[in-house]
Amino acid sequence: MKRYIIAITGASGSILGINITKELLINNEVHLIISNHAFDVINSETEFIWQSVNIDEIKQYFNSDRLFIHDTNNQSAPISSGSFITDGMFIVPCSMKTLSAVANGYANNLITRAADVIIKEGRRLLIAPREMPFSAIHLENMSRLSRIGVIIAPPNPAFYHNPKTIDELIGYMTGKMLDLMGVANKHFKRWE
Ligand SMILES: Cc1cc2nc3c(=O)[nH]c(=O)nc-3n(C[C@H](O)[C@H](O)[C@H](O)COP(=O)(O)O)c2cc1C
């Protein structure tokens, strides 16, 4: 069984991070961190009314023994250390603030610390930066990370698969991100 970290930060598109967590849990151990600001976005964009103080409700939703949820303020969680082996990390969606912190090694919470560890240990990191439009600062931060091998996968939909619903658009983006990290899934269909 593989082991992945997923962080959901306070950018729009939290449903993508929730769906990736669900998909990863099918075959993998998953360490989930939800930033304080992500809770606001989850509550305003999705059907979930989740609170940082009520982790049990989130655990109940995913209903898996393979899921470990960490408080973003807990820098002494196992994923804070390089000695805790993982197969990679997703930051989906990624706010411009977290992008900037990761690009500059500013490990001020568990999400940015875990990403810093992934980079220093040479493991795979996928970031889904969400903003519109991107400023030169945002692009420079992405470029900096891309040059060291971080996968920059913004949540851009594609239309060549003729989506009819928002769920299909979300499914494509979820599947593509998992595929980029080598995680087999039913959502991503290759062009034949
Ligand atoms: C409803 C809502 C949507 C937001 N969408 C974005 C976004 O798409 N991209 C972004 O960079 N910030 C967005 N923000 C602002 C971030 O939540 C804010 O910068 C926060 O400090 C990010 O912190 P975090 O990276 O620790 O989650 C949004 C905030 C709210 C309330």
Residue nearest to atom 7 of ligand 1 (CA): 11
Whether the model clears a pTM of 0.75, i.e. scores above it, the answer is yes
* Residue 106, pLDDT score: 98
* Residue 78, pLDDT score: 97
- Ligand 1 center to 143 CA (angstroms): 20
* Residue 132, pLDDT score: 98
* Residue 52, pLDDT score: 85
Question: How far is it, in rounded angstroms, from Cα 101 to Cα 88?
Answer: 18
Task: Say how many Å lie between the first and final Cα of the chain, rounded.
Answer: 30
DSSP 14-73: HHHHHHHHHHHHTTEEEEEEE-HHHHHHHHHHSS----TT-HHHHHHHH--TTEEEE-TT
Q: Encode pLDDT of 40-96 as tens digits.
A: 999 999 999 998 888 999 999 999 999 999 999 999 999 999 999 999 999 999 999
Q: Kindly state if the Cβ of 112 falls inside 6 Å of ligand 1.
A: no
- Ligand 1 center to 98 CA (angstroms): 9
- Ligand 1 center to 178 CA (angstroms): 23
Q: Kindly state if the Cβ of 97 falls inside 6 Å of ligand 1.
A: yes
Q: Are 126 and 181 in contact (CB under 8 A)?
A: yes
Question: How far is it, in rounded angstroms, from Cα 141 to Cα 101?
Answer: 9
pLDDT of 191 higher than 90? no
Q: Encode pLDDT of 112-148 as tens digits.
A: 999 999 999 999 999 999 999 999 999 999 999 999 9
In order of their start, the domains of the chain are: 2-180 (3.40.50.1950)
